[in-house]
Amino acid sequence: MNKPLILVVEDDAPIRNLITTTLKTQDYKYIAAATASEALQQATIHAPDVMLLDLGLPDLDGIEVIRRIRSWSAMPIIVISARSEDSDKIEALDSGADDYIAKPFGVMEMIARVKSQLRRYMQLGATAE
Ligand code: CA
């Protein structure tokens, strides 16, 4: 079976490196983006299996990224954000995010949530066929 491909969208380089290093040690493939426009481009080109998305991006809000992805893809989107108000979580989930991790976060919790989304997504794909 192919290794799942994860798209990591985070403008903060140390956090981005933490996430990608963790994914690598857990045997995932990844691509990284530091801006919303890069993220949308990478998502279109590579069709990743899961997207990990920061909301506070320099060029466009992460919520808008979720909306744009959802107009053409059902890929699982897990938000990782420092915004911890309930209203922020609700807005992200209402816009089409599948899960929400508040910063600061534990990397093993992040991996567990990625696994959970992959499991569900693969099952959905299997039933659809
Ligand atoms: Ca950010």
* Alpha-carbon span 12 to 7, nearest angstrom: 15
Q: What is the pLDDT of residues 89-125, one digit of tens each?
A: 999 999 999 999 999 999 999 999 999 999 998 887 6
* Alpha-carbon span 49 to 28, nearest angstrom: 10
Q: Quick one: average pLDDT of 40-61? A: 98
Q: What is the pLDDT of residues 64-76, one digit of tens each?
A: 999 999 999 999 9
> What percent of the chain has pLDDT above 90?
90
Residue position matching structure tokens 């990625």: 114
Contact 60, 37 (CB under 8 A): yes
From the CA of 110, how far away is ligand 1's center (Å)?
17
From the CA of 92, how far away is ligand 1's center (Å)?
15
Residue 124 confidence (pLDDT): 75
